[in-house]
Amino acid sequence: MSQGSPAERRRAGLLLHPTSLPGGYDNGDLGPEAYRFVEFMAACGFTVWQTLPLAPPHADLSPYSAQSVHAGNPRLIALEPLIEAGWLQPDGGPREGEDGWTYRQRRLGEARQGFQRAERAQGEYGAFVRERRDWLEDYALYQAIRAAHGRAAWSDWPRELRDRHRDALAAVRRQFAEAIAQCQFEQFLFYRQWAALKRYANERGILVFGDIPLFVGYDSADVWARRECFLLDEEGRPEVVAGVPPDYFSATGQLWGNPHYAWESMRADGFQWWKERIRTQLTQFDLLRIDHFRGLESYWEIPADAETAVAGQWREAPGDELFQALRAEFGRLPLVAEDLGIITPAVEALRDKHGLPGMEVLHFAFGGDAENPYLPHQHTVNSVVYTGTHDNNTTLGWLEELDEPTRNHVFDYLGGDPARMPELLVRTALASVARLAVVPMQDVLALGGADRMNQPGVAEGNWRWRFRWDQVEPRLAGHYRHLLTLYGRI
């Protein structure tokens, strides 16, 4: 890691989003199973827990195009701590026909009623609302208006609300006061529970590693409340949108649809929006990955009406100025650059100038010759090595998809046979000189392609994978403690 980073020594981590935990309703949450997972990590010797963004998603559940860069996902709020606090009474679970999220929402409403009778916690709640006012008020207002308009995007709201007319917003604050208060209460619960879980992990020597999507979801409180920070027309519609050109994942590129930043406007106020965003993330995590880092040097700009990403063009971004401003504000930051994809010397220069570790992904290592930068003998100390990421297949799934020449290359290089997968690739990651090695939980459990987290370019069925404790063999903790000791990562 870069100088000043908390990951200054050889470490190993697990990649698992909290929604993939057992327990909870419809998805994992911050309840007892999260603490059990921390204990499992500690028993294995892992000292980094990497998650995906914790932001509130839309219906597709993607945390990379969320409704706020500051807010936490209320789906992660566990009910057990609310019962323990006396704010919620135990019950028998969801009613007949009630899905898990609807049940959780109903119970969170009941918890607020119980909380209002708990005088001792009111001061803590009041302090939270005051400290987070800069984003919390707009986010709660956005959620209340959105719910009242059938969850339509803010650009489809009545003009006076879309354009944030003062009188219209004041009227809405009065009309939806209860919904706004409930939203703020849920954010209080999320931050309270996440802080407790992070503290539990830190006390056991585990750093928590977060992820910052470079771009922001269009239908979000951030874009609605800060339109001057984005390239939008007079109606609030994107003029151009984000994505990437054709790459490993897609022959037509990826059309993400996120609005691009109005970098001139951001530069004019010293990148204040970014400073606020980073400040929030530093309250949640010990380390931070910047997803799509190359977009801070230059980004792929696609016309908003394009059907694919092929029609885009590269535009220069003020990444160097941004990092200088962030460093002046916070000092040296514990950042990792996701530098995958089309990486130019200019992107590498930006990364290296600011001392940011890059990423090495072993699934990308076996195309080409011995000069492939992802091959282990090409790795550098100041980097993070993965078998695969949340966007890759599991290692067993990846292996099944390889053509015969590439498959032969894998085992010729690694010096093993298919029966030893995925551990053979896991051992290769752990043996790398890269200071941090991260293994997806699927590879620890030796799961196949049906258990991948995300398939880029496929709109449905992602972000829903969960593991079960019966998949965790009793021998795993001792086995991984041996491996991490063997490779100097304890």
Residues known to be catalytic: 291, 338, 391
Which of 168, 171, 182, 39 minimizes the C-alpha distance to 104?
182
DSSP 161-188: HHTT-HHHHHHHHHHTHHHHHHHHHHHH
Give CA–CA dist 411/396, Å, rounded.
Answer: 13
The SS3 of residue 426 is helix
CB atoms within 10 A of CB 116: 14
In this structure, what token pair is assigned to residue 164?
């944030």
Q: How many alpha carbons fall within 13 Å on the CB side of residue 364? A: 22
Q: Which residues pair with 359 in a beta bridge?
A: 384
Furthest C-alpha separation in the chain: 70
Amino acid at 446: A
Which residues, listed in sequence order, are joined to residue 439 by a DSSP beta bridge?
Answer: 14
Q: How far is Cα 275 from Cα 279, in angstroms, rounded to an integer?
A: 6
Strand pairing of 298-303 and 240-244?
antiparallel
* H-helix segments, 285-417: 319-330, 345-353, 395-401, 404-414
